Structure 1
Amino acid sequence: MSNADLLPSLLFKINENQLALEAAILELSNWVEQRGSAEVADNVRGALWAIDKNEEFIKMTLALLMTPD
């Protein structure tokens, strides 16, 4: 398997890790909010917005990269 063949799989795994981290951080922001720090929780959710905004593009691009020629 060439390095070029590995790239789509690597990017897919990195994206999976990113989404898992997003979910974990969201859980922490909910926990923080329940303990009275709504402003901090909102700031965290705002930072996570970029991941959510870019998710569809990343998925579409990965699907194209993983499609056999």
Structure 2
Amino acid sequence: MASEYSLSVVLEKMYENQLGLEAALMELVLLVEQQGCETVGENARGALERIGNNAGFINQGLARLRILEKD
């Protein structure tokens, strides 16, 4: 079991924060697009795409780190 402040636990908390920020940014994108600011919405969606792509990579890295910590 990982300790309270092990690397995997700290990275998991950072990953959870990333997901929360992604959700909040999406809410803002929808609001901005409804107000007719398509360019701003497109730019923010580009950032959301990057966040989404990185989320899978981070999740895989966390899974591997947890396995290493069990040994």
TM (norm. structure 1) is 0.87
SS of 1:8's partner is helix
Amino acid at match of 2:16: E
Structure 2 unpaired stretches of 5+: none
Aligned position for 2:55 = 55
Structure 1 unpaired stretches of 5+: none
TM (norm. structure 2) is 0.85
Tell whether 2:2 aligns with 1:39: no
Aligned position for 1:22 = 22
Q: For 2:12 and 2:37, locate their aligned partners in 1 and report how far apart those are by CA, in whole Å.
A: 34
Runs of 4+ in 1 over 4 A off after TM superposition: none
Higher RCO, Cα 8 Å, sep 6+: 2
Q: What's the offset of the Cα at 1:56?
A: 1.1
Amino acid at match of 2:66: M
Amino acid at match of 1:17: N
Q: Report % sequence identity.
A: 47
Structure 1 pair 61–50 and aligned structure 2 pair: CA distance change class (3 A): same
